[in-house]
Amino acid sequence: MAELLAVDDLAVTYRLGDTLVHAVDGVDLVLPEGAMLGLVGESGCGKTTLARALMGVLPGNATITRGRVLLAGTDLVSLSAGEHRARLWRDLSFVPQTAMNALDPVYRLRDQMREVLCRRGGLSRAAADRRSAELFTTVGLDPRRLMDYPHQFSGGMRQRAAIAMALALRPKLVIADEPVTALDVIVQRQVLDTFRGLGLELGLSAIIVTHDISVVAYLCSMIAVMYAGRIVEFGPIERVMGEPAHPYTMGLMNASPDLARAGAELTPIEGSPPSLVHPPMGCRFAERCPFAERACVQAMPATIEVAPGHSAACIRSGEAGELRRRAREVATWRQ
């Protein structure tokens, strides 16, 4: 499969007054066409910033300080503002977090769809309305609801409307930031099924950003685990979740409730992530890692390929099998 997206050493810095926060500090990613990649990590690990950096629309005080984002061969970072804007929504689009006010409250959905389809897609109003109806149906919404205002939609419906809008110009890639977080479980499943359907029918390529591993497990074929501004493990989902090679991922698997291991104790990872203002020199997880050695804090670990397409940034990834066994014991994580 062709490579759709390749991210190379991407870094994003926020400026807060006189302080610089290195929210994303050297991220490498690869996404094949027709695949869905789950980007997981705890709050503050930089995944939302990464998602927005891929779109190229960041808040005023944030800048991409280095790196490349290659979408179908073109480096988005190096484009001028005009060239970049021309590609927005056509080549890649965005589905925002559910909780937010992501749809303009004073315009009907039909008009918001028209704005995208006519102004950016060059369609006539009539053609735009036809396509909007089509899109709504695809995501499981009644086309008559196009005449409604956003506040008249329930949370799940709003999310599906946002998905419909994201698909409007048939983008190559859709980035979804916590698409189901604020929804209740039943509605979550409905929206996830919508996504899944799109993946199967349209061969949709997507990056799903979330802190909820179960969403990734349900939807994605690949997973990238992010910690303190860097990717610590990356690969096909069955491998990363089944045989994690990085201690952080191992900890995450332990900490997530899993019906298959019903009755097993949940073990949280003690401690909290390091400051991104003055990040540590060595491995950022070392402080909380039960397997850390002296070498870990001295230098940033290189990314090692533990299997084809599966890599982890840990110097002890060669001992992954042994570490996994110890990670399953509760005592390991109680420091």
| Least distance CB 119 / other proteins (angstroms) | 7
Residue among 144 and 294 whose Cβ is closer to other proteins: 144
Q: Does 105 bind other proteins (CB under 8 A)?
A: yes
| Least distance CB 316 / other proteins (angstroms) | 40
Candidate residues 89, 136, 227, 248; the one interacting with other proteins per rule CB under 8 A:
89
Cβ pair 220, 38 in contact under 8 A: yes
Residue among 128 and 231 whose Cβ is closer to other proteins: 128
Question: What's the rounded Cα separation, in Å, for the pair 57 and 49?
Answer: 10
Query: What's the full length of the chain, in residues?
Result: 335
Cβ pair 95, 176 in contact under 8 A: yes
Looking at the DSSP bridge assignments, the partners of residue 13 are: 22, 63
Residue among 99 and 307 whose Cβ is closer to other proteins: 99
| Least distance CB 168 / other proteins (angstroms) | 9
Q: Does 153 bind other proteins (CB under 8 A)?
A: yes
Cβ pair 245, 318 in contact under 8 A: no
Q: Considering only 9-17, 95-103, 227-235, 319-327, which stretch makes contact with other proteins by CB under 8 A?
A: 95-103
Residue among 209 and 283 whose Cβ is closer to other proteins: 209
Candidate residues 96, 199, 247, 251; the one interacting with other proteins per rule CB under 8 A:
96
Candidate residues 6, 64, 72, 102; the one interacting with other proteins per rule CB under 8 A:
102
Residue among 94 and 333 whose Cβ is closer to other proteins: 94
Candidate residues 48, 93, 188, 254; the one interacting with other proteins per rule CB under 8 A:
93
Candidate residues 1, 2, 106, 126; the one interacting with other proteins per rule CB under 8 A:
106
Q: Residue 39 contacts by C-beta under 8 Å, 6 or more apart in sequence? A: 47, 50, 51, 207, 208, 209, 210, 223, 224, 226
Question: What's the rounded Cα separation, in Å, for the pair 20 and 37?
Answer: 29
Q: Does 14 bind other proteins (CB under 8 A)?
A: no
Neighbours of 72 (CB within 10 A): 15
Q: Which of 288, 317, 287, 291 is nearest to 302 (CA)?
A: 317
Candidate residues 75, 104, 238, 270; the one interacting with other proteins per rule CB under 8 A:
104
Applying CB under 8 A, the site for other proteins has a residue count of: 29
> Which residue blocks in the chain are alpha helix, DSSP H?
47-55, 81-87, 109-114, 125-138, 155-167, 185-202, 213-219, 237-242, 247-255, 294-298, 320-327, 330-333
Residue among 2 and 106 whose Cβ is closer to other proteins: 106
Q: Does 159 bind other proteins (CB under 8 A)?
A: no
Q: Does 98 bind other proteins (CB under 8 A)?
A: no
Question: What's the rounded Cα separation, in Å, for the pair 213 and 41?
Answer: 9
Residues making contact with other proteins (CB under 8 A): 55, 57, 85-90, 93-94, 96-97, 100-106, 115-116, 119-120, 148-149, 151-154
